[in-house]
Chains A and B, each alone.
Chain A
Amino acid sequence: MTTSATRCLLRTLDENYALEDYQSGVPRWCIGCGDNAILAAVQRLCRDEQLPPEKTVFVSGIGCSSRFPHYMHTYGFHGLHGRAFPVAEGIKLKRPDLHVFVVTGDGDCCSIGTAHWIHAIRYNMNMTVLMHDNGIYGLTKNQASPTSPQGLKSNTTPRGAHLEPINPVSVNLGIRNVSFVAQAVDWIPELLHDIIAAAYHHKGFSFVRVVQRCPEYLPDRYDPWVKNPDRMLLLSHADGIQISPELSRVYRHQEKHDPADRNRAREIASVSDPMPVGVLYRNRNMPCYEDLREPDKPYTPSMVGAALNREFDKFTIWPENGEDGGAGKRG
């Protein structure tokens, strides 16, 4: 009791949440799993932004990645496979004061939850989305996902995946009122953090596809890119992500890309080698559904009484000599 009281006091004094304040439990992901890096980046973001834990909600679906909210000492909603988006929308609608994050996987988002994903882009509600794309179903043990490369051998595709993968970034860019799309990789922590921070700061539906390594089922899938920085394309812009001199020494392949340029964003997104990293597209003027749907007046009990009586009036038959006059007067 004393310790927590002291902690509270300290907090009010210097408004300081530490990294530990956002940590909860020990993640149960495999060693080397890219999810760990994403968790670290997000906890750093929360600390940097000093998000009040009670005002922060992480919503997820089902999958290895969707375990994420359990490791955050905030509110968390670990719901159903594929249904994180509509849950998050329902939360955000009446609670603009809450910081809403969605954590989803490639199966969760691009397969079972696709309809919700497409519409979530349309609704453009203010939330930050982390799509952990490991190109495989991790939790259910190695089945091909919609983002698995063609030919990938998995438990359900022993002779190789049959189809071309979906490109999640391009799909986002295909929706007319998309407002923020970025791509990050788990093995460049600095950029991962900066990109998630940019997503967080954007007002609207901010989608970050995080290319995430699954050492358990696809140990060398991204090796060509991890081991050869020249196969990475870093996107920077005065109005986007800045790249530090240290990073620039390693990742020489860079492009100044204006996130307002949707056509160029589409071109960049369509190429997977070199692999682009950065903010591909941002439109700050896209209206958010929660603002469009904000009621003219906030709810009050007396308002309900008055409105209800007005509605009843429309349908009421008054007694013959009642105070309100004869039949039909109230029409």
Chain B
Amino acid sequence: MNARPRENKSSRPEAKQSQAGKAAQNRAPTPRRKDPPSPKGKPAVILDEHIVEIVSDSGEGAQRCGQAFGSIAARMGNGIWTVEIIPAEIQPPARSMAGTSGNRVRVSSHRVTNGGDEANLVVAFNEQVLLSRVRVNELKRGCIILLEEKWRSDPDPDIAASYVQVFDELSAGDFSVYEIPMEFECLKYVADPRRGKNMFVLGMLCSIYSLDLEAARQQVSFIFAKKKDKIVQDNIKLLEAGHEWAEGNLDIKFRIPSTKAQEPQIVVNGNISLGLGVLASGMEVCAMYPITPATSVSHYLSDVFRNVGGMVHQAEDEIAACAFAIGASYAGKCAVTITSGPGFALKQETIGLAVMAEIPLVVVNVQRGGPSTGLPTKVEQGDLLFACFGGHGDTPKVVIAAATIEDCFYSVITARKIAETFNTVVVVLTDASLATAQQPFPRPRFSEEWLSPPADQSAIPEGAKPYDWDDTTGLARRFIPGQPNGMHCLTGLAHDRMSRVAYDPAINQEGTRSRSLKLASLQKTLKTPPVFGDEEGDMLVVGWGSTKGAIEEAIERLRAEGLSVSSLHLRFLQPMASGIGDVISRFNKVMTVENNWSDDINDEIIDEENRRYSELAWLLRARYLVDIDCWSEVKGQSLKPGAIAHAIRVRLEGKG
């Protein structure tokens, strides 16, 4: 497929040989050079794409380095997808596997839609953070490792021993390990290399991947724009030093061809994209309570929302946040509340109130691993059924799931519009994978149609009823405080068209029917999603949410192998567009691929009568009465196209 630098014989012995000269380096570390030393201007190997990871202790700036690397590549016109590697703890001990912090950047000659498979090149600031990535199988065989070598000569013998042990293990394995005197080199320019080493590494990476140094300088200036000039200059110096050093000392040089986009692109992560969507939707109130991985949306909004007259309210808890948003919606324009699993659970009673009283509300759930506190920083798609069916009694609400980072933006606008058109709750599902990943998408062109209309304050015709449900659509005009003649007492109790509490059997039946009909009315307006691949064939894979890119890449690979597979990705999960049943019926086998739990049919006590399916599989099985299979994982990682392709292949061969 592409010209990846295969594990080349010369590098490993070379790396090992470096160990021999250890004593000498203890005093004055010298770069491990290739023999002969790589000359400047060495020819670059052309690659289709590479996955690069930069990992460090938290606080050492690997995340910033990775983001900058991704942004520079994107500016050059490469397709990129960046994924944050987030430490499990806030103040993890230094040099610990739990503290691994960093960034994974997939750089490609074409547009990429997901984080891809395993890494091709890793820069590690110590051997422990490196080891943590090896242990979770995130490194490809033959992966190039650039490792800070200062630990080899650490005064603490345990540290030095640990370094040597890991170095030996990895060098003996299927990796090309280069020891890099990062700190030693940085000390030539700054007093505290812990701050700034990341820019040295950024320079190195720019050299390795033949990225434009001037674009890198601009990126560094942008990153430190708010800092003093001295800081900017120091960091640029380090960047240049890293570049210079790699040019002179490393024998690895790649180039990933790029094509500049014709249209302006914006590069943000999914959470910023959501925040931009909130701005663009015309909503003015976002009520929230901090929770990972949703919080950064409100960080961003807190900064910029006031520019449009909006405000972020940090409530005392998620129940209050949701109730606050409901109050704001009730008295004016639709409001939004943003949360993640545990907070979404707390909001259920208030969501039910909004459904019952028909108050527009947008609830964003940036899903994380559950149940309970679960995996706060990691991805899972475990809240689909909860979003659809959570809440006591019949609480019909709209559930949509963003499939891409771009989608995060438009989903909020759509959600607001539906919420106000149908006077109901719209849940937008994203997840930790979209939240922190970055991928360029076409810069949206603002349209006033995105905005919500101002709150209606016109007089209500005398005698009009606050819940005058249309018999066909279930819709009723909403009365907003301030509207003359609209006075009524909204209630979460069963109520009649006048909003009077009513326990009458026929009235409850009518109210429940009307609220339910609104979903059908919306459903009538939805278009069948397009099939990726042929319209019929051996296997259809159905997905939802953040897995779109990975699933489609897997499908592409399998189709290139000649397999008859296609995929379908659903954005509207409740209600689902019509026509999906037809698509399903044109394939011999159908399965969902999801990032949530499903029992493995091959487990000893699992059979068709007790198997618990993945969440979308449950929904599709129930609606279309088709024996739909599923494959899923809950590893807290984004699904990889390679793993998906493998799973599909196995099912096609009938071994699932």
Contacts and interface: CB of A to CB of B under 8 A. Distances in A.
Interface in A307-331: 307-312, 315-320, 322, 324, 327-328, 331
A89 interface: yes
B331 to A, nearest CB: 4
Contacts of B310: 295, 299
Interface of A: 1, 4, 24-25, 53-55, 57-59, 62, 69-70, 72-80, 83, 85-95, 97-98, 115-116, 118-119, 293, 295-301, 303-305, 307-312, 315-320, 322, 324, 327-328, 331
Given A91-B481, A304-B279, A78 B489 contact: yes
Contacts of A311: 276, 279, 304
Nearest to A304: B308
Given A86-B327, A119-B320, A317-B264, A54 B483 contact: yes
Nearest to B218: A328
A304 B450 CA distance: 10
Contacts of A308: 276, 279-280, 308, 446
B584 to A, nearest CB: 39
B503 interface: no
Interface in B421-479: 440, 443-444, 446, 448, 451, 462
B315 interface: yes
Given A25-B500, A303-B308, 20 more contacts: A24-B489, A54-B486, A73-B487, A79-B353, A86-B316, A89-B327, A91-B481, A94-B328, A95-B481, A118-B316, A295-B306, A299-B284, A301-B451, A305-B448, A307-B307, A317-B440, A319-B260, A327-B76, A328-B215, A328-B219
Contacts of A80: 323, 349-350, 353, 492
A322 B260 CA distance: 11
Nearest to B446: A305
B487 A293 contact: no
A88 to B, nearest CB: 6
B332 interface: yes
B85 interface: no
Interface of B is mostly: mixed
The 3 closest A-B pairs by CB, nearest first: A90-B327, A76-B489, A299-B309
Interface of A is mostly: mixed
Interface in B265-284: 265-268, 272, 276, 279-280, 282, 284
Contact of B491 (A1, A70, A88, A116): A70
A307 B493 CA distance: 41
B323 A79 contact: yes
B363 interface: no
9 contacts: A73-B487, A76-B488, A83-B320, A83-B353, A87-B323, A91-B331, A95-B481, A293-B311, A315-B267
Interface in B219-272: 219, 221-222, 225, 260-268, 272
Interface in B347-366: 349-350, 353, 357
Contacts of A322: 264
B481 A115 contact: no
A305 B279 CA distance: 9
B279 A86 contact: no
Specify which of B451, B482, B483 lies most central, judged by the most chain A CB atoms within 10 Å of its CB.
B482
B148 to A, nearest CB: 29
B409 to A, nearest CB: 10
A91 B327 contact: yes
Contact of B329 (A58, A83, A90): A90
A331 B451 CA distance: 28
A259 B446 CA distance: 54
A295 B353 CA distance: 29
Contacts of B492: 62, 78-80
B335 interface: yes
Contact of A304 (B75, B262, B280, B486): B280
Contact of B489 (A72, A86, A297, A309): A72
A304 B282 contact: yes
Contacts of B74: 317
B284 A116 contact: no
A311 B486 CA distance: 39
A70 B326 contact: no
Interface in B50-107: 74-77
Contact of B313 (A76, A87, A93): A93
